[in-house]
């Protein structure tokens, strides 16, 4: 129910913006807005297109233009993910979004940190007013850390066995 309320408020906000800027609220734009609220994780334009193609086929350029509009007016966040690509995330009525991204498996974990939020809410920038913020921390998740540890232990055992075998051969000579 809470997500429905956010979608309803975002729709009203978008309609007000569109009316005051001489634009039109088209069925395509509304479908894209509804799709934005269907995602609970960050998404790319291609992921959005794939999702929309099942319900309401939309050109990639139309999705891009609408997501850029939503970014400008504060409905979504946009962040670079490398190689010129970007991902979007719903942020309507949310000041900050924080993520941990595993560099090995690519899994994304959303987290909250009161100290980061406190710092950002008090931070002032010269000639700039922050509206939203996204903090992304890259590293290794616990599953990947454990996988690396297991592989190291396995290699260590293999080296020990090899060294023992080499030492036996040397002592036999």
List the domain boundaries for the chain. 1-94, 95-140, 143-173
Distance between CA atoms of residues 109 and 139, nearest Å:
11
pLDDT of residue 2: 67
Distance between CA atoms of residues 12 and 66, nearest Å:
16
Instruction: Decide which of 2 and 105 is more confident.
Output: 105
pLDDT exceeds 60 at position 1: no
**Rg of the chain on CA atoms, in Å:** 24
95-140 maps to CATH 3.30.1490.190: yes
Per the prediction, the chain carries an average pLDDT of: 86
CA neighbours closer than 13 Å in the CB half-sphere of residue 76: 30
In degrees rounded to 5, what are phi and psi of residue 171?
-75, -25
**Torsion of Cα atoms, 102 then 37 then 13 then 73, to 10°:** 30
Segment 105-125, tens digit of pLDDT: 878 787 878 888 788 778 888
Residue 67: alpha-carbon gap to chain centroid: 14
pTM for this predicted structure: 0.63
Segment 39-75, tens digit of pLDDT: 988 899 999 999 999 988 899 999 999 999 999 888 8
Which CATH number is 1-94 given?
1.10.10.10
């Amino acid at each position: 129910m809470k997500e429905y309320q956010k979608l309803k408020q975002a729709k009203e906000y978008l309609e007000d913006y569109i009316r005051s800027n001489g634009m039109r609220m088209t069925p395509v734009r509304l479908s894209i807005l509804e799709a934005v609220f269907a995602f609970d994780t960050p998404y790319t334009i291609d992921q959005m297109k794939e999702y929309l193609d099942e319900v309401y086929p939309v050109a990639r350029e139309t999705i891009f233009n609408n997501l850029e509009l939503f970014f400008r007016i504060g409905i979504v966040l946009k962040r670079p993910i490398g190689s010129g690509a970007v991902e979007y995330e719903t942020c309507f009525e949310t000041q900050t979004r924080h993520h941990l991204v595993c560099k090995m498996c690519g899994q994304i974990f959303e987290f909250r940190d009161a100290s980061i939020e406190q710092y950002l809410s008090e931070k002032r920038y010269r000639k700039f007013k922050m509206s939203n913020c996204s903090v992304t921390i890259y590293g290794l998740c616990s599953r990947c850390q454990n996988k690396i540890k297991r592989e190291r232990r396995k290699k260590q055992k293999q080296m020990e066995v090899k060294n023992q075998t080499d030492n036996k051969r040397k002592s036999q000579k």
